[in-house]
Amino acid sequence: MKLLTGNSNKKLSEKIAKYLKERLVNSSIRKFKDGEIYIEINENIRGNNIFIIQSISSPANDNLMEMLLCIDALKRSSAKNITAVIPYFGYARQDRKVVPRTSISAKLVSNLITKAGADRVVTIDLHAGQIQGFFDIPVDNLFATPIFARHIKKRIKSKNIICVSPDVGGVARTRGLSKFLNSGLAIIDKRRPSPGRSEVMNVIGNVKDKCCIMVDDIIDSGGTIVNAAKVLKEKGAKEIHVYITHGVLSGDAVNKIRKSTIKNLVITDTIDNYNKIKNAKNIEILSVSNLMGEAIRRISNSTSVSFLFK
C-alpha cells in the first residue's frame, strides 16, 4: 500500500499516514506560469496499491484537476490499483436536474474520476447516497455520525436532547444520529427561493426547552444553519449545537456563526479550515483521519469497511 497526497488538505493526509504508520509518496505538484497543473511522481510505484488523498474543496476546479492528473500519472506509472480517497466530494450538490437545462455535476465528476483510471472511491458523508450509483466502480461512503455521537456523549450532559434535521433531505442522517443518542427527532421545512438563499417555513416537532442538535453534511454560506437556529430559538429551544461534516464555510460564514445563537459548531477536517476558524470560539474541528485511515487499512487488507459502523 502507498499513500499519495494532493495539495488540498495535506494536514489530513499526514494524519492518515501517521495512523497507518506509512509515509506519503514523494511527488511534486507544480503549476506552469499559465496555471496548468504538472504532476511528477518521484519514486517507483509499479505494482502498488495506491491511495490518492484529495478533497474537491475550494479552489474546487484546481483540486479536482489535480486529482485527475494524479490518477492519470499513477495509471501511466503502472500502479496496480488506484483508490481515490476524497474526504470532501465537491460538485455533489448538483445530483439531479432541479430546473430545466442544468448540468448534473456529480455525474460528470464521477465519469471523470472513473475515466482518469480510478478503481475505487472512498469518501465520507456524500451529499446524496445515490451518487454511489453514478460510478461503475466500488464506492465506500463512510459516516461521521459515530465520531459526532462520541463527542456529543462526552460534551453535552443534557437529558433533554432532540436531533434536528435542517431540511427534509437530511432526515436519514439525523435519524442515524438520534438512534445513537436515543433521542427524539425534529425536522425543519426549508425552502430555497434562489440558490444561496434559504428560508425556514416550519418546524416539525416540539423543540421547546430542548437541547437541539442539528446535523448536516455541508455548511457553505451558513444561511441554512443560522436561519434554522434562529427559528429554533423562537420556538423555545434551550440551546443549539451543530454538527456538520464538511465545513465549506464560504464568504462570511464564520462571522455569521460567531454572531449567531449557536452555542457550538463542530465540523471535521475533510476541508482544511484551521486558519479560517482560529478566532471563532464557538467553532471546533474533529478529525476524520483515524476513520479514513482504518477504512484504507481495511480496503487494503480486503476486510469489511461496514464493520466500522456496527
Q: Measured between alpha carbons, how far is 127 from 170 in angstroms, rounded to an integer?
A: 9
Least Cβ distance, residue 227 to ligand R5P (angstroms): 8
For the chain, first and last CA: distance in Å?
A: 26
Catalytically annotated residue among 190, 233, 256, 310 = 190
**Can you tell me which of 90, 223, 247, 293 binds ligand R5P, judged by CB under 6 A?**
223
Q: Is 57 in the site for ligand R5P (CB under 6 A)?
A: no
Q: How far is CA 259 from the centre of its chain?
A: 24
Distance of closest approach, residue 4 Cβ to ligand R5P, in angstroms: 29
Does the protein bind ligand R5P through residue 9 (CB under 6 A)?
Answer: no
**Using CB under 6 A, which of 6, 222, 247, 293 touches ligand R5P?**
222
- Please give the Cα distance from 16 to 19 (Å, whole number): 5
C-beta closer to ligand R5P: residue 166 or 293? 166
Binding pattern to ligand R5P, positions 149-188, x when CB under 6 A? Answer: -----------------xx-xx------------------
Nearest alpha carbon to residue 27 among 190, 279, 13? 13
95 binds ligand R5P (CB under 6 A): no
| Residue 310 is among the residues annotated as catalytic for this protein | no
Does 247 participate in binding ligand R5P (rule CB under 6 A)?
Answer: no
Number of residues in contact with ligand R5P under rule CB under 6 A: 14
Q: Which is nearer to ligand R5P, 192 or 208 (CB)?
A: 192
54 binds ligand R5P (CB under 6 A): no
- Whichever of 51 and 91 has its CB closer to ligand R5P, that residue is 91
242 binds ligand R5P (CB under 6 A): no
Taking CB under 6 A as the rule, does residue 217 contact ligand R5P? yes
Residue choice 66, 216, 269, 272 for contact with ligand R5P (CB under 6 A): 216
Q: Which span (11-19, 34-42, 211-219, 300-308) binds ligand R5P, by CB under 6 A? A: 211-219
Residue 218 binds to ligand R5P (criterion: CB under 6 A)? yes
The 3-state secondary structure of the chain, one letter per residue: CEEEECCCCHHHHHHHHHHHCCCECCEEEEECCCCCEEEEECCCCCCCEEEEECCCCCCHHHHHHHHHHHHHHHHHCCCCEEEEEECCCCCCCCCCCCCCCCCCHHHHHHHHHHHHCCCEEEEECCCCHHHHHHCCCCEEEECCHHHHHHHHHHHCCCCCEEEEECCHHHHHHHHHHHHHHCCEEEEEEEECCCCCCCEEEEEECCCCCCEEEEEEEEECCCHHHHHHHHHHHHCCCCEEEEEEEEECCCCCHHHHHHHCCCCEEEEECCCCCCCCCCCCCCEEEECCHHHHHHHHHHHHCCCCCHHHHC
Residue type, 137: I
CB of 190 to ligand R5P, least distance (A): 8
224 binds ligand R5P (CB under 6 A): yes
Residue 220 interacting with ligand R5P (CB under 6 A) = yes
Stretch of residues binding ligand R5P (CB under 6 A), selected from 109-117, 174-182, 220-228, 264-272: 220-228
Residues that bind ligand R5P (CB under 6 A): 166-167, 169-170, 198, 216-224
Show which residues are catalytic. 190
